[in-house]
Copies of this chain bind each other. A is one copy, B any other.
Amino acid sequence: MSMKAAVLYSGGKDSSFVAVMLKRLGLDVELFTANFGVYDSYVPASKSADALGFKHNVLKMDKSILEKTCEMILDDGFPNDGIKYIHKQTIEALADDHDIIADGTRRDDRTPKLDINQIKSLEDRKQVQYINLDSFGHKSVKLITENLFEISHEKSNKDNSSDFEVEIRTLIDEMGGNSLDIFPEHYQTRVIGYKQ
């Protein structure tokens, strides 16, 4: 049976954690960062992937999904449901071309996260195995990732993050919205290598 796993990857500590975990359990791991054609936001993730020794790919997604996401967020005035939508669409797309897929969502995350019914539906419809970080609470994720990784902490900007947020911000601003109302300034962590 195939041991190839496709991990949805942002360069952050959670998606780096799941990638390293699966590799060390014997799977052939490749990383995928979604891109909607609005901004080359996958560059930071590709650098993190390189630093950790993984093959990195760009998962080209339809711009209409990003547009719908931005409309939802502007209507709602906050990002939760939009982020949930874009994450789910990306996972569905990743599942189309792979037998085993994974992301870095954690047991204690609220959003974006597939619940158990969404996971089982995805697995049945797409004949895929889905893996995440539900085994671990936030304290364990913190402990393990701080032990595994060198992590950079910087004020977030367009060029140090590969989260969905970067292209969402770009398109919201193009649409005449103000993305700073939706996503206040925050600090961004990114994995820059293994700890020695």
CB of A180 within 8 A of chain B? Answer: no
Contacts of A66 in B (CB 8 A): none
Contacts of A100 in B (CB 8 A): 140, 143
The contact string, 1 if C-beta is below 8 Å from chain B, for chain A 14-38, is 0000101100111100000000000
Contact B134 A129 (CB under 8 A): no
Contacts of A25 in B (CB 8 A): 20-21, 24, 144, 148
Give the distance in Å from the alpha carbon of A133 to the alpha carbon of B116 in the complex: 14
Give the distance in Å from the alpha carbon of A89 to the alpha carbon of B24 in the complex: 32
Contact B135 A133 (CB under 8 A): yes
CB of A132 within 8 A of chain B? Answer: yes
Contact B148 A123 (CB under 8 A): no
Q: A24-B24, A27-B144 are in contact. Are A107 and B129 (CB under 8 A)?
A: no
Q: Which of B3, B132, B136 contacts A131 (CB 8 A)?
A: B136
Give the distance in Å from the alpha carbon of A116 to the alpha carbon of B130 in the complex: 19
Please count how many residues in chain A sit with their CB below 8 Å of the partner chain's CB atoms: 29
A98 smallest CB distance to B (angstroms): 13
CB of A118 within 8 A of chain B? Answer: no
Contact B143 A129 (CB under 8 A): yes
Give the distance in Å from the alpha carbon of A143 to the alpha carbon of B134 in the complex: 18
Contact B130 A137 (CB under 8 A): yes
Give the distance in Å from the alpha carbon of A162 to the alpha carbon of B87 in the complex: 42
Most buried by B among A20, A25, A147: A25
4 closest pairs, A vs B, by CB?
Answer: A134-B134, A24-B24, A135-B135, A129-B140
Interface residues of A (CB under 8 A from B): 1, 3, 18, 20-21, 24-27, 100, 107, 116, 119, 123, 129-137, 139-140, 143-144, 147-148
